[in-house]
């Protein structure tokens, strides 16, 4: 960084650009100043544990507080795996070979019968260490980044799987007869590709703003989510997972618009319009917990038998698999991954393509048959096959 002409002995700090309200900007400035002061106090001999704590308390790469769930999982991984092995080690003294051996040892099953980490878990630990050291180097807490020389481990990229349309239809039929509120949750998720947190944040007034009462096809604006703090278990209203890039307006089909309109006509509008759609208290001010949605969905799945009346046919359906179902149907109809990305609210098109476009058996079957039909020769008269 260039030095200040008036103070040649002082190294300039990196500037940040923040967009938001004045209160949010002042809070971001406070966190930025705090991180700068933390860096100024470092003598370069910071340990891995000390660096983790400073990085963990700082903003994310998007200059905003870290999501509570992400922060919790990062701490669990650090405390369980990284700290016992490297916690007291000075960061700049980390040997890349020792880190590689640590990865190899963590993959192995223990003598006490404990199961080693999966390749994807190793990838997440590596990502944690790499993010910490990059942040430390940028903020002048360390004068070199030892993780640059550590080979990135490879994970197992499992292909996404989506439930069949028949399974989703059976689930919706069952919920229509047994639990209309859960029918609405599953219908919104499978049609609009909403995240679970986004489903929980929907208020009745959002449908009114989307002209559900007037138009044949209503709209729904998605700009927030509701998650449970993994430590305090309190519900927190957050931005969407992808931030402003995930804010989107989605159109509702005719049946969904009609059913939401029917529910709205049954409500006490002045009293409940500001309340949450998925809530059980009198004024709908307390939304369901994320686990409540999961438990209700699990209960419904297990109540649906297969054609022989044996195993539940919808047992693999989750809210995430319903998002995959939505993306896969959109891609199969339009053959456009960008449309699926826009509907699901992903910040990156690679995320949609890699994790949310499920394999389509019918398209796979039709593709090879179509090639074969082009090559097939007509039978000749008088020739026996």
Q: What is the DSSP code string of 168-204?
A: HHHHHHHHHHH-HHHHHHHHHHHHH---HHHHHT-BH
Reported pTM? 0.74
Q: Residue 1 has what pLDDT?
A: 44
Residue 114 shares a structural domain with residue 232: no
Query: Would you say residue 9 lies in a domain?
Result: no
| Paired tokens of 329 | 């149907």
Residue 82 shares a structural domain with residue 131: yes
DSSP bridge pairs for 221: 249
Residues of the domain holding 124: 22-149
**45: domain CATH number?**
1.10.150.130
Pick out the chain residues at pLDDT < 70.
1-44, 59-64, 268-271, 306-314, 334-335, 355-385
- Residues 165-211 have pLDDT tens digits of 888 999 999 999 999 999 999 999 999 999 999 999 999 989 888 88
Residue 348 shares a structural domain with residue 286: yes
Q: What is the DSSP letter of 82?
A: I
Q: Residue 364 has what pLDDT?
A: 59
Tell me how far apart the alpha carbons of residues 20 and 38 are, in angstroms, rounded to a whole number. 25
Query: Would you say residue 376 lies in a domain?
Result: no
- Residues 240-274 have pLDDT tens digits of 887 788 899 999 999 999 999 988 888 765 567 78
Give the orientation angle of helix 319-334 with respect to helix 165-178, to 10 degrees: 130
Q: Residue 136 has what pLDDT?
A: 92
Q: Residue 292 has what pLDDT?
A: 94
Query: Would you say residue 86 lies in a domain?
Result: yes
Q: Residue 134 has what pLDDT?
A: 93
- Where do we find the tokens 């047994």? 178
Q: Residue 23 has what pLDDT?
A: 64
Q: Residue 133 has what pLDDT?
A: 95
Q: Residue 330 has what pLDDT?
A: 87
Query: Would you say residue 43 lies in a domain?
Result: yes
Residue 245 shares a structural domain with residue 355: yes
Query: Would you say residue 327 lies in a domain?
Result: yes
Q: Residue 252 has what pLDDT?
A: 93
**255: domain CATH number?**
1.10.443.10
Domain count, the chain: 2
Residue 83 shares a structural domain with residue 198: no
């Amino acid at each position: 960084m260039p030095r200040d002409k008036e103070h040649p002995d002082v190294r300039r700090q990196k500037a940040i650009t923040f967009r938001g309200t004045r209160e949010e900007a002042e809070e971001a400035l406070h966190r930025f100043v705090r991180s700068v002061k933390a860096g100024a106090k470092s003598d370069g001999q910071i340990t891995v544990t000390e660096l983790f704590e400073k990085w963990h308390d700082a903003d994310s790469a998007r200059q905003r507080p870290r999501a509570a769930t992400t922060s919790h999982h990062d701490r669990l991984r650090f405390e369980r795996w990284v700290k016992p092995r490297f916690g007291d080690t000075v960061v700049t003294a980390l040997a890349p070979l020792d880190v590689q051996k640590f990865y190899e040892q963590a993959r192995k099953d223990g003598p006490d019968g404990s199961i080693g980490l999966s390749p994807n878990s190793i990838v997440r630990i590596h990502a944690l260490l790499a993010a910490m050291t990059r942040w430390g180097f940028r903020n002048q807490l360390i004068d070199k980044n030892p993780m640059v020389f550590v080979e990135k481990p490879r994970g197992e990229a499992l292909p996404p799987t989506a439930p069949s349309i028949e399974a989703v239809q059976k689930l919706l039929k069952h919920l229509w007869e047994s639990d209309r509120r859960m029918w609405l949750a599953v219908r919104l998720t499978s049609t609009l590709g909403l995240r679970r947190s986004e489903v929980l944040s929907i208020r009745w007034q959002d449908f009114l703003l989307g002209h559900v009462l007037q138009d044949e096809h209503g709209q729904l604006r998605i700009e927030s989510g509701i998650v449970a703090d993994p430590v305090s278990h309190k519900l927190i209203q957050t931005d969407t997972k992808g931030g402003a890039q995930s804010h989107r307006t989605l159109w509702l089909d005719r049946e969904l618009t009609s059913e939401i309109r029917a529910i709205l006509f049954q409500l006490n509008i002045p009293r409940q319009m500001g309340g949450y759609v998925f809530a059980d208290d009198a004024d709908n001010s307390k939304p369901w917990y994320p686990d409540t949605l999961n438990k209700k969905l699990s209960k419904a799945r297990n109540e649906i038998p297969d054609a022989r009346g044996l195993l539940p046919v919808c047992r693999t359906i989750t809210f995430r698999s319903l998002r995959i179902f939505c993306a896969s149907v959109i891609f199969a109809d339009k053959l456009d991954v960008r449309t699926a990305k826009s509907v699901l609210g992903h910040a990156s098109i690679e995320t949609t393509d890699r994790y949310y476009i499920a394999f389509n058996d019918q398209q796979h079957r039709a593709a090879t048959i179509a090639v074969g039909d082009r090559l097939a020769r007509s039978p000749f008269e008088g020739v026996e096959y």
